[in-house]
Each structure stands twice: as structure tokens, then as C-alpha cells.
Amino acid sequence: MCESNGYDFIASKLKENLDLKKSPVAIKFVLREKDIPEGIPKVDEALRHCELVQKASKGDVFYATVEEQKCKGGAAALGLMDAPEKIKTGEFYYELGRFSGLGSAKKTMESIPKVDPIMYALLYAPLDKATFDPDVIVLIVNPAQAMKLSQALVYTMGGRVEVDFAGIQSICADAVAGPFTRRQPNITLGCSGSRGYADIKEDEVIVGLTGENIGCVVNALENMS
């Protein structure tokens, strides 16, 4: 098992080895209100999950319940609520022109990773300020940095990095719900929502890592360098 040396140290090594411009973001799922750590405030505005990740990458620490999640499709993928019917059936994305028919829209929505059971909130923090053990760590990177992370993921055990995305519900489902439920990292190319509302740049991709193996990733990056 790889040992963690503290999240501030891990964050500094990720920034150093990858030349990151944005802080990695620690995310933790909270099942009950009483499990919110003391001293972490509720976010003071309603934003989309992708916007909340960007907010945390700039230094803010907070938690958000379903009431503070502006995108209900994302909130549903994250286990904070049941999916609205038009999102569950794919009708919402079909009407946006993302699919040729309801069948392909429904098939895609059925395959998108979702968290169950219903959660109370998500904690967000830049990794170097995290006072909790993150379930998922999200990095907003360029393709070259994603390549280095991919190399780090196979450094010890070998194999291949398998990615799973559909260009829909990217930072919520692909980068957080997927790694949380499957216990596997994922790389995703963003979606219209995250690029339109959360300022994900054209040359940026998103990586979701599982919290329990982040020490191994850092060790691999150190050895590779």
C-alpha cells in the first residue's frame, strides 16, 4: 500500500511534477449533515458542480448540498437527488440536438455513471487545504499533463488506462461519479456545460483520480522525473 505524506505535500508534488497552473481539487461525498467537518462553510451561492470545482481550484473550501447545485443533471449524477425525468430519459439532450433520436439519448443516459444512495452534500477544497480524506481528486490539465498522469497510473502495475466519456455530464459524472463508484481513475474531454459555464478552456481536459491511490500516483511521477 502506498502511504500518504499529507495532502499539502501531495498537492505540492503534483504541481511540481506536472507544472500545474490550477490546484488539484479534493472532493468528498457526505451522506449525513452531521458528518460535515467543523469549520467548513456552506458555499454562499448556487453554482453548477463544474463551477464549484473551478471555485475550489482557486483556493476556496466549502460544501454544497443539492440546494446549491444549479445543474440538476449534475446533482443527480452525484447522488444528491433523483434525476429529473427529462434528463433520465434523454429527452433533455435530444431537444438540445445532441442526439439523432430518443433511443440513442436514453441509451447514453443509462450508461452515465451515477452515485447511489442519495448523498447530503459534497465537500470541495484545493488539495493543499483539504482537512478531510478525499474520495476523488479532480485535476484540470492540458493534454501533455494528462499524458504524464496516464504514464504514472501504469508505472507500477502496467496495463492500459481505460477512459469512459460521452461529452455529456463531464466533470460531474465522468470525473467524479465514475471514479467514486468504479474506484478507477478517468479522463474526460469536458462537455458543453463545463466549457460554457465553468470556463474549461479548449486546450484543457479533466482527470478524476481516486483518493486512495493518489500517493502511488505521486510516487510514480517522482520516480519518472
pLDDT in tens, 153-191: 999 999 999 999 999 999 999 999 999 999 999 999 999
Quote the Cα angle for 115-212-46, to 5°: 45
Q: What is the mean pLDDT of residues 41-51?
A: 97
On whether residue 183 sits in a domain, the answer given is: yes
> Which pairs count as long-range contacts for 145-148, CB under 8 Å and 24+ apart, including other chains?
145/18, 145/19, 145/20, 146/187, 146/205, 146/207, 148/17, 148/18, 148/221, 148/224
On whether residue 1 sits in a domain, the answer given is: no
Q: Domain containing 140: what range?
A: 7-224
On whether residue 11 sits in a domain, the answer given is: yes
On whether residue 177 sits in a domain, the answer given is: yes
On whether residue 54 sits in a domain, the answer given is: yes
On whether residue 169 sits in a domain, the answer given is: yes
On whether residue 143 sits in a domain, the answer given is: yes
Q: What is the pLDDT of residue 3?
A: 42
Q: What is the mean pLDDT of residues 122-141?
A: 98
In the chain, the number of structural domains is 1
On whether residue 89 sits in a domain, the answer given is: yes
